[in-house]
Chains A and B, each alone.
Chain A
Amino acid sequence: MTETRILELPILPLRSMVVFPSGISPLTVGRPASLKAAEAALATEEKLLGVVTQRDDNETEAAPANLYEVGTLVVINRMMRAPGAEEVLHLIVQGQERFKIVGFTGQTPYLKARVEILPEPAREQTPEVEALQRNISALIQKALALLPNVPAEIRNVILAAEDSVRLAYFLGSVLELETAQEQALLEANSEGELLRLMHSYLAHEVEVLDIRSKIANQTQEELGKAQRDYILREQMKQIQKELGEAEPEQAEVALLRERVQKADLPDEVRAESERELKRLERLPTAAPDYHVIRTYLEWILELPWNKRTEDDLDLVHAREVLDQDHYDLEEIKDRILEHLAVIKLNPKTKAPILCFIGPPGVGKTSLGQSIARAMGRKFERMSLGGVRDEAELRGHRRTYIGALPGRIIQALRRAGVNNPVMMLDEVDKLGSDFRGDPSSALLEVLDPAQNFSFRDHYLDLPFDLSSVFFIATANQMSPIPPALRDRMEVIRLSGYTEEEKLHIAKRYLVPRQVKEAGLAEEQLQIPDETIQSVIGRYTREAGVRQLERTIGRLARKTALKVAQGVGDVFTITPDHLEDYLGHEMFFHEQARKKLPPGVATGMAVTDMGGEVLFIEATLLPGAKGLTLTGQLGDVMQESAKAAHSFLWSHGSELGINAAEVFDKNGVHIHVPAGATPKDGPSAGVAIVSAMASLCANRPVKSDTAMTGEITLSGLVFPVGGIKGKVLAARRAGLKRVVLPRRNEHDLKDVPEDARRDLEVAFVEDIRELLDQTLEPSPGETAAPGPEPQHVPAEVGYGPEARA
């Protein structure tokens, strides 16, 4: 059948669909012209109809120009009218052959055209077609794999298809293609062209399917994971239920709740705990906040909100305890007993806030322990040395990871009661930098008016610190900020005198060190003189640490001898000390037997106790002014200048031709030992005595030591440290001391025996002073005095001496 066949057919325009030859398609016919065309086809013997697709779907009136030129010849297989809607026809048509419209023969009442039947696309046997066929079949396999819902019949039809043209037509009707694409398939005149089109459509389709399936898979996976976790968790819960275990987080919350209910908490704290508990219950264990809240609640529960120890108010017992632990320190002991007495009378009294200031080693810290023991309170100590972050005292806010309360709250937790003795060691060594000033945080802690509701940043709840017995300690007063100083009751612990050290050594240090060395008490005998030698020549300190160490050395060396079997009982006399401890390490200035004019004996006080020092003045003929050497501080230099000026202006009134001397000579004043810094106004009297001695060429009395501040108008003002200074003068072998009149009352502090050994003179102005200090031999012209006595070198002279 190669000859062209021309038919005349009624034409049914199709909207957005293409009927392929071999395809069976349902059609619904409603447009009047289409109805007429269908009726006309049905009226023929063979029921043949031409269907042609419209180019534009929206066009209701199908004009010939709006139709594609290639259509399909179909046979109407079934036809029925919709029940109740006679004007609508439902047709089932089967595609037969493709045709090309040659010309329209009528447009009314329906389209009629002469068509030329097109041959089936020519089968080709080229490698290209072969390749296309294989590719298409691979794509189909892939598409079917991606489409699990394709019915088995269709699957079989597709897979069993032998004719690739039929298959292409079938796929064209099955796949979701654009009308234009379907029409292109229909118009393909060769197998190659048809398959090429099909291949590209199919490839696109498979790609879309692939992506769709990937997306679906991903969604599925995500859903799947969540689902899986949920199921596993539920299963775990069930298992735990079966095993009789409550959910761990719930158990924990329940436990906490129980503890909160049982705990003795103030109302505000309880309310806050309940609130946090509620939050905790709602949180999963994995939430970061969970642990934060749990830790917070545990802190609240562990703090001694209302727990306290009962004070031991037995004054006699307290006194005994304090005496056992510490020698002397009467002032502090009295203060503690006073406080206990007040508590006895008024239990609600606020705890005092004490500050012990004293040199290292005088027992400030151990005193705190004794106080706690005497009062029957717990003792907590925290060292503030080097603390420079405010948060260390007051904690970090809970927003920070790993936040904790500050040291105050931590110490209270350790103590377990809200009225311990809390020792704030080294408050003078608090640092401060950009992170805040911890001493300012201490202000709140130490203010009795505020500390009943101390708020730690972490807790953010008021804690009553008013029962805490705070004791601060410091080596020096000056670094403590005034505001902080003002809040504390300062008690000064001066260094121990040699007598006190002797007592301490005998009563505490020797027995302790002997025991430490593993010796029996009687195996090591250390006489008093030996201890005094150790104190004076092997140690120089305010406290007794070094003394204790040195005694420890003696005890160990004895223990060595005992272990070697050299002997059993040892007595260490001062003569033995060099064998045990080596050469003497320290020397005290001793009184010089005869002083040349221009040298005076002054007295100074250091943390290690009093010292005697010499002021040496000499004239520099032809020079001008005043030269000061010997590491003198500003105050001492000014004191020297005042002495210089006073003598210059008032010398004549005192019978000293100072103006003339100073006019022609410069003055050099030196204070040995040159390496030790010295400061303070109290050397004023010694300097003026030395200069007056120089000008008048009358030596200063060599058995006399002096102290006192001078003014430019010639008055003598009182100074501190009288006790230490007087003791030092006595130790140095001097016979007389000259003191400012207004220091008379300080003499009470000086031990009785020292007062007995010394003659004391009090002066009010420089005239009186010079009467007391200069040798009374105005007419005698002394030859240049003997060379000044050798000044012994100082080894390891301690901190700054204050003259």
Chain B
Amino acid sequence: MARRRSVFIERFSSDSYRRPSGPLWQPAVDVYRCPEGWKIKFDLAGVRPDEIQVLITDDSLIVRGVRRDSVMSEGWTYHQLEITYSRFERVLAIPCDLKHAEVQSEYRDGWFIVHINSCAEGTKA
């Protein structure tokens, strides 16, 4: 899947990860348990998949990116604004061995879903 590939998944060690400066907005999250492991669903409507970044450290999953207003056009003015744009970041601690888990992502209907297959041995990213 072209969409899936476009999401850049990067692995870090916990020590080397540094938070970006400034507070960012945090997307809402649903976390599921499933027989294979974990499904994590982010409310990231309006974010282009290629602007979502998934980082994996030893014990946490970090999703970040930028939401841009792509609807706004020349000559329009805002009457009301309630959707938060700009950079976001969400750090989730997942109680499983992420180092050796298989992690995949999927973007569908405004949801960004991360699949963690913790039962799998070895890495197949």
Q: Taking beta carbons and an 8 Å cutoff, which residues of A are in contact with B?
A: 1, 21-22, 39, 42-48, 73, 75-81, 94-97, 119-120
| Nearest CB in chain A to that of B69: its residue | A45
Given contacts A96-B22, A97-B21, 19 further A-B contacts (CB under 8 A): A1-B20, A22-B23, A39-B77, A43-B72, A44-B69, A46-B68, A47-B81, A47-B86, A75-B25, A76-B81, A77-B81, A79-B81, A80-B81, A81-B80, A96-B21, A96-B23, A96-B24, A96-B87, A97-B22
Complex contacts, A119 vs chain B, CB 8 Å: 21
**B23: nearest residue on chain A (CB-CB)?**
A22
Can you name the residue of chain A whose Cβ is closest to the Cβ of B75?
A43
Q: Given A21-B23, A22-B23, is A75 in contact with B85 using a C-beta cutoff of 8 Å?
A: yes
A305 nearest CB across to chain B (Å): 96
Can you name the residue of chain A whose Cβ is closest to the Cβ of B66? A46
Would you mind naming 7 contact pairs between A and B with Cβ atoms under 8 Å apart?
A: A1-B20, A39-B77, A45-B69, A46-B69, A77-B81, A81-B80, A96-B87
Contact B78 A75 (CB under 8 A): no
B74 to chain A, nearest CB (A): 8
B30 at the interface (CB under 8 A from A): no
- Residue from B20, B70, B80, B84 within 8 A of A75 (CB atoms): B84
Closest 10 A/B residue pairs (Cβ): A45-B68, A79-B81, A96-B22, A46-B86, A75-B86, A97-B22, A120-B21, A42-B78, A47-B85, A22-B23
CB of B80 within 8 A of CB of A79, answer: yes
- Please indicate which of the listed interface residues A22, A45, A80 has the most CB atoms of chain B within 10 Å of its own CB: A45
A45 and chain B: residue at smallest CB distance: B68
In the complex, B109 has a CB within 8 A of chain A: no
CA–CA, A94 and B86, complex, Å:
11
B residues near A75, Cβ cutoff 8 Å = 25, 84-86
Q: Is the CB of B21 within 8 A of A78?
A: no
A144 to chain B, nearest CB (A): 24
In the complex, A48→B24 CA distance in Å?
12
Of B70, B76, B77, B82, which one neighbours A78 at CB under 8 angstroms? B82
- Chain A residues with Cβ below 8 Å from B82 are 78
Question: How many angstroms from the CA of A119 to the CA of B20 in the assembled complex?
Answer: 10
By beta carbon, the residue of chain A nearest B80 is A80
A79 with B84, Cβ < 8 A, contacts A45-B70, A73-B22 known: no
Contact with A along B64-101 (1 / 0, CB 8 A): 00111110100011111110111100000000000000
Asked if A46 contacts B81 (CB within 8 A), the reply is no
Interface bits B8-27 vs A (CB < 8 Å: 1, else 0):
00000000000011111100
> Which chain A residues border B79 with CB–CB below 8 Å?
80-81
User: Which residue on chain B has the smallest CB distance to residue A75?
Assistant: B86
Residue of B nearest to A72 (CB): B22
Contact B78 A39 (CB under 8 A): yes
Residues of A within 8 A of B76 (CB): 43
Chain B min CB distance to A166 (Å): 9
Contact of B23 among A79, A80, A81, A95 (CB under 8 A): A95
B79 nearest CB across to chain A (Å):
6
CB distance from A529 to the nearest CB of B (A): 139
> In the complex, which of the residues B22, B67, B81, B86 contacts A22, with contact meaning CB atoms closer than 8 Å?
B22
8 Å CB contacts to A: which residues of B8-55? 20-25
CA distance A94 to B26 in the complex (A): 13
Closest to A89 in B: B78
> A45 contacts B72, CB within 8 Å?
yes
CA distance A21 to B86 in the complex (A): 15
The 8 A CB mask of B108-119 against A (1 = contact, 0 = none) is 000000000000
Given A45-B68, A45-B69, A45-B72, decide whether A95 and B22 contact each other with a Cβ distance below 8 A. Answer: yes
A79 to chain B: closest residue by CB: B81
Minimum C-beta distance from A706 to chain B (A): 142
Give CA–CA (A119, B23) in the complex, Å. Answer: 13
Could you say which residues of chain B place their CB within 8 Å of the CB of A77?
25, 81, 84
Query: Which of B78, B80, B81, B86 touches A48 (beta carbons < 8 Å)?
Result: B86
Distance from B100 Cβ to chain A, minimum over Cβ atoms (Å): 30
Instruction: Write out the residue numbers on chain A whose beta carbons fall within 8 Å of the beta carbon of B66.
Output: 46
A530 to B82 Cα, complex, angstroms: 141
Residues in A whose Cβ lies below 8 Å from that of B70: 45
Q: Which residue of B lies closest to A94 (CB)?
A: B23
Chain A residue nearest to B21 (CB atoms) is: A120
Q: How far is the CB of A664 from chain B (nearest CB, A)?
A: 148
A97: chain B residues at CB < 8 Å are 21-22
Whose C-beta in chain A lies nearest to the C-beta of B67?
A46
CB atoms of B81 and A78 under 8 A apart: yes
Which residues of the other chain, A, contact B77 by a CB distance below 8 angstroms?
39, 42-43
Task: State in angstroms the CA–CA spacing of A253 and B77 once bound together.
Answer: 86
Q: Given the known A-B contacts A46-B85, A48-B86, are A21 and B69 also in contact in the complex, defined by CB atoms under 8 Å?
A: no
CA distance in complex: A75, B68 (Å): 12
Q: Which residues of B contact A95 (CB under 8 A)?
A: 22-23
Hey, which chain A residues are within 8 Å of B21, CB to CB? 1, 21, 96-97, 119-120
Contact (A21, B80) CB under 8 Å given A46-B68, A75-B86: no
Chain A residues whose C-beta falls within 8 Å of the C-beta of B25 in the assembled complex: 75, 77, 94
User: In the complex, what's the smallest C-beta–C-beta distance from B71 to chain A, in angstroms?
Assistant: 9
B62 to chain A, nearest CB (A): 15
How far is the CB of A103 from the nearest CB of chain B, in Å? 23
CA distance A80 to B77 in the complex (A): 12
Least distance between B85 CB and chain A CB atoms (Å): 5
Question: Nearest Cβ in chain A — how far from B22, in angstroms?
Answer: 4
What residue of chain B has the Cβ atom nearest to residue A76's Cβ? B81
* Smallest beta-carbon distance B23→chain A, Å: 5
Chain B residue at minimum C-beta to C-beta distance from A117: B21
Closest residue of chain A to B81, judged by CB? A79
Interfacial chain B residues near A94, Cβ < 8 Å:
23, 25
B residues in contact with A21, CB < 8 Å:
21-23
CA distance A75 to B87 in the complex (A): 9
Give the docked Cα–Cα distance between A80 and B78 (Å): 8
Q: Which of B22, B25, B76 has the most CB of A within 10 A?
A: B22
- How many angstroms from the CA of A233 to the CA of B69 in the assembled complex? 74
Residue of A at shortest CB range from B72?
Answer: A43
Whether B78 contacts A79 by the Cβ 8 Å rule is yes
Measured CA separation A96–B79 after assembly (Å): 24
Across-interface contacts of A79 in B (CB, < 8 A): 78, 80-81
Contact for B85 among A22, A39, A45, A120, CB less than 8 A: A45
* CA A728 to CA B67, docked complex, whole Å: 150
CB nearest to B19 among chain A residues: A120
In the complex, which residues of chain A have a beta carbon less than 8 angstroms from the beta carbon of B69? 44-47
User: In the complex, what residues of B have CB within 8 A of residue A45's CB?
Assistant: 68-70, 72, 85
Chain B residues within an 8 Å CB radius of A47: 69, 81, 85-86
How far apart are the CA atoms of A43 and B22 in the complex, in Å?
A: 22
- A605–B21 Cα distance when bound, in Å, is 133
Give A78 to B77 CA distance when docked, in angstroms: 14
| Cα distance, A21 to B21, chains bound together (Å) | 9
- In this complex, the member of B20, B23, B68 whose beta carbon has the largest number of chain A beta carbons within 10 angstroms is B23
- Of all chain B residues, the one with the shortest Cβ separation from A92 is B81
Q: A570 CA to B6 CA in the complex, in Å?
A: 159
Report the separation of the CA atoms of residues A27 and B66 in the bound assembly, to the nearest whole angstrom: 24
Q: How far is the CB of A328 from chain B (nearest CB, A)?
A: 129
- CB neighbours of A96 from chain B (8 A): 21-24, 86-87
Q: With A and B bound together, what is the CA distance between A712 and B5 in angstroms?
A: 168
